[in-house]
Structure 1
Amino acid sequence: MDTTDDSRALVQRIHSELDKGNGQFFIDSLADDASWTLEGSTPWSRTYAGKAAIREELIKPLFAQFAGPYVSKTERIIAEGDRVVVLFSGDVPTRAGKRYNNRYCYIYRIEGGKVKELTEYFDTALVQQALEAPPAPGHLHAHAG
């Protein structure tokens, strides 16, 4: 079982790197069978199951809409056992000329030194206003939600 300190240290490093504009450590920290659930009823909201689906169906189409580097700012990290909660904000212009400046609450579950589950709460109205809907998931990828 991951200790609170280990879980907090991993997530602190993830968000420290994200705040510098480096998302690679986040990707590297995902378990192969990780799941990422975006809450709400937006076209993006569902559970992305597996590292490949997270990369191909969420991160790639999302970042394709950004016109510049995504800037995040971590505000608070709260850890208990294998769960770590992060409050942070992000800001980026989109290729469509809109500003995507969202605020997030991420709830991580760490297992074996990797991110096993991530649940994301965010401003869903902003997503609807600033982002285009993602492409429909490929027929090879089953998904929940």
Structure 2
Amino acid sequence: MTVTDNKALIQDIMDARARRDPNPFIAAMADDFVWRITGSTAWSGEYVGKADVLERLMRPLHRQFTAPTSLTASRIIAEGDYVVAECRGNATTLAGELYANTYCFVIRMADGKLRELTEYMDTALVERVLRPPGSQ
């Protein structure tokens, strides 16, 4: 795929995420997809493989919210196999607390699939609002 194709795919994924629809994102993950979350929170670390991402990251995270997180991309930049998306996320926890974080996703693409994603965000907000994985 071209740089333009990669950027368009991420734009489509972000448009869906703005509507709280994670399915295009999940469908675009390669089976060996790797998601790295920076920082030292309970959620930080490396999730290896689509199944691991879904089981240990996405499902436990989504169980903490009244609906999937809405992500709105303010900037998408592409070069070579990489696409960078700067986003604002909004969700409400089951306890009624607003979780509004700012993200930068650095995504490596290959053959029309997401291969790697490194996530940068406000880790202090994560620590304050989210329960650790496995505590749901």
Structure 1-normalised TM-score?
0.89
2:28 maps to: 29
Q: What is the one-letter code of the residue matched to 2:86? A: L
**Percent of counterpart pairs with the same letter?**
44
Runs of 4+ in 1 over 6 A off after TM superposition: none
RMSD of aligned alpha carbons: 1.2
How big is the shift at 1:118? 0.3
Q: How many residues align?
A: 135
Q: What is the one-letter code of the residue matched to 2:6? A: S
Q: Distance in 1 between matches of 2:60 and 2:68?
A: 15
- Report whether the alignment pairs 1:106 with 2:108: no
Q: What is the one-letter code of the residue matched to 1:52? A: A
1:10 maps to: 9
Q: Distance in 1 between matches of 2:36 and 2:55?
A: 15
How big is the shift at 1:19? 1.0
| Unaligned 5+ runs, structure 2 | none
| Unaligned 5+ runs, structure 1 | 137-145
Give SS of 2:71's match: strand
Q: What is the one-letter code of the residue matched to 1:28? A: A
How big is the shift at 1:69? 4.2
Give SS of 1:62's match: helix
Q: What is the one-letter code of the residue matched to 2:39? A: G
Verify the 8 A CA contact 2:67 2:92 in the aligned structure 1.
yes
